[in-house]
Amino acid sequence: MEKYLGIDVGTTSIKGLVVDENGRLLDTYSWPLKMDIPKPGWAEQDPNLWWEGVLEILRNVSLKHTISAIGFSGQMHSLVCLDKNFQVIRPAILWCDQRTTQQCKKATEIMGGETKVIEKMGNPFLEGFTFPKILWIKENERANFNKIKKILLPKDYIIYKLTGNLGIDYSDASGTACFNVNKNTWDSEVFEKFEIDISIMPDIYLSYDDRGELRNELKSQLGWNNCKIVSGGADNAAAAFGIGISKKGESMVSIGTSGTVLTITENKKPDLEGKIHYFNHVLENKYYYMGVMLSAANTLNWVRDHFFPHSSWDEIEERINNSKPGSNGIIFLPYLNGERTPHRDPNARGVIFGISSINNENDILRATMEGITFGLRDSFELIKEKTEIKDMRIVGGGAKNKTWIKLVAANFKMPIKIPQIDEGGAYGASMLAALGNGQNLEHVLNWVKIKEIIEPDDNLFEIYDELYEIYKKLYFSLKQNYIQMAKFLNL
């Protein structure tokens, strides 16, 4: 029997899971990670900690299983810099890091304005993307910049450590802001204009391409002499594939550390306003629109950890259900670390609005969940303007909370499907491993089963439509205050 291992190099953990040739989940493994926050709005991790976690997972897997192929999923955009000996130069700058505002502005001007950038790259230069991070290092850490021989993204660093192969897949490449979506390759113009050697970029592979075998010392340690390593894909693309998202109009809402809404499209036109992203899917010649909020489940985790540290998640959900829809007048803006869709504002911060003496802690918790859901709705409404949304499936930690799924269904006004296996990018990575090992696409997609469908409660439509309009206006009423506070904090 063939067995496949999917590994997701996430932000807060590394996850591994073993499946058989029919997609049956055999075992799961995890390794915790923490972000370093050197300054407000910054976020870094040591890539060697990813490698330590992956090695531990591989060793544990080898005690029970012989693996035929390993596929990968990983956090998008995060920058790993390697020197001439392919050693890590500095901590990885993560996808949620917001330090590159000035580099984004300057790059946009030099490239002829945002519309021209989006027409070529599919997306504007955004703080979280990879290329602005390279520019930041060039301007602020010249000694480190001069050492750069190759840049990689997180999952590809792990693939290098496993195989010695340097590369990236198309889904991750399309999120770097230096990949030409029209030519499907690195954009030579952007490297020429900024006097950066394009050779620092890795070769590009399909997400199910064979990237080689394990290094000999790992073969000896693990006992896997014929194990293929498959490219894998960007976390959201892999997670979408992991719940069967492969055709036009099929969509995913993911409530993890960040929050995303993703829809496969046949419309090969980026959003020229730059509010939603346009990326390559893990399947060849497939593309998707995606909206991203930077802090989704992470926001609810923050509220719980700081104000309800002794409450279980069951107790948190009970508290939320003891507050009525609308949270007795409280609206929560979930911008703890800035926001991407739709505001693209690194200065935005969280706000509890409307609190009064009638409110209690249950209202605060419900308002937090409602505010995150409104943030997801921002992305949903924008994508719906660009392409048809036929089918919506949910993944992530938030998908384990029925109350939250009901809120999403009421705000999106459509049924939400819950997959039988919700293991995020790691399950999609195992499906890509199976494709890379010779299984056909139709068979692999048949791994995906739907466990339950949550229908929207139309009694909530009017309530949430009205609150959502207030939610949207609040940001714009506070925008100048965010700017002033950012200036104050930089004093």
**pLDDT of res. 131:** 98
**Last residue within a domain, chosen from 236, 259, 278:** 236
**pLDDT of res. 256:** 84
Residue 77 annotated as binding? yes
User: What tokens appear for 259 in the block?
Assistant: 């929050």
Is 97 one of the catalytic residues?
Answer: no
Q: Backbone phi, then psi, for 423, in 5-degree steps?
A: -125, 20
Q: Do residues 48 and 193 share a domain?
A: yes
Q: Do residues 231 and 250 share a domain?
A: no
**pLDDT of res. 397:** 86
Q: Does the pTM exceed 0.95?
A: no
**Last residue within a domain, chosen from 208, 236, 264:** 236
Q: Do residues 222 and 345 share a domain?
A: no
Q: Do residues 360 and 481 share a domain?
A: yes
Q: Does residue 488 lie within any of the structural domains?
A: yes
CB 166 within 8 A of CB 160: yes
Q: Do residues 149 and 259 share a domain?
A: no
Q: Does residue 206 lie within any of the structural domains?
A: yes
Catalytic residue among 8, 97, 209, 235: 235
What ranges in 3-153 are assigned the alpha helix state H?
A: 47-62, 101-110, 114-121, 130-140, 142-147
- Burial track 146-156 (b if 16+ CB lie within 10 A, e otherwise): ebbbbbbbbbb
Q: Which range of residues forms the domain containing residue 386?
A: 246-419+457-491
Q: Strands, E, within 228-353: which ranges?
A: 228-230, 233-234, 250-255, 259-265, 277-280, 287-293, 331-333, 351-353
3-state SS of the chain: helix, strand, coil percent to 5? 40, 20, 35
What secondary structure does DSSP assign to 341-372, as a single string? TTT-BTT---EEES--TT--HHHHHHHHHHHH
Give the number of other Cβ atoms within 10 Å of residue 440's Cβ.
Answer: 10
Q: Does residue 336 lie within any of the structural domains?
A: yes
Residue 44 and residue 90: Cα distance in Å, rounded? 9
C-alpha distance from residue 392 to each of 139, 423, 450 (Å) = 43, 17, 11
**pLDDT of res. 111:** 97
Q: Does residue 427 lie within any of the structural domains?
A: no
Q: Do residues 211 and 315 share a domain?
A: no
**Last residue within a domain, chosen from 216, 236, 256:** 236
Q: Do residues 79 and 212 share a domain?
A: yes
**pLDDT of res. 124:** 94
To which residue do tokens 């997400």 refer? Answer: 207
Q: Do residues 200 and 268 share a domain?
A: no
Give the number of other Cβ atoms within 10 Å of residue 246's Cβ.
Answer: 18
Q: Does residue 437 lie within any of the structural domains?
A: no
- CATH code, domain carrying 307: 3.30.420.40
Q: Do residues 345 and 387 share a domain?
A: yes
**pLDDT of res. 227:** 96
Q: Does residue 439 lie within any of the structural domains?
A: no
Residue 71 and residue 432: Cα distance in Å, rounded? 6
CB 7 within 8 A of CB 429: yes
Q: Do residues 321 and 470 share a domain?
A: yes
Q: Do residues 54 and 194 share a domain?
A: yes
Strand partners, 406: none
Residue 463 and residue 465: Cα distance in Å, rounded? 6
Q: Does residue 448 lie within any of the structural domains?
A: no
**pLDDT of res. 148:** 98
Residue 13 and residue 31: Cα distance in Å, rounded? 5
- Nearest CA-CA partner of 281 in 271, 266, 293: 266
Mean pLDDT (10-residue bins), the chain, 491 residues? 96 95 96 92 95 98 98 97 98 93 96 96 93 98 98 98 98 97 95 97 98 95 95 94 96 90 92 93 96 91 92 93 96 92 90 96 96 97 95 91 96 97 93 97 96 96 97 96 89 49
Q: Do residues 172 and 285 share a domain?
A: no
**pLDDT of res. 96:** 86
Q: Does residue 433 lie within any of the structural domains?
A: no
How many domains does the chain contain in total?
A: 2
Strand, coil or helix: 253? strand
Give the number of other Cβ atoms within 10 Å of residue 142's Cβ.
Answer: 10
To which residue do tokens 């997959």 refer? Answer: 419
Residue 390 and residue 339: Cα distance in Å, rounded? 27
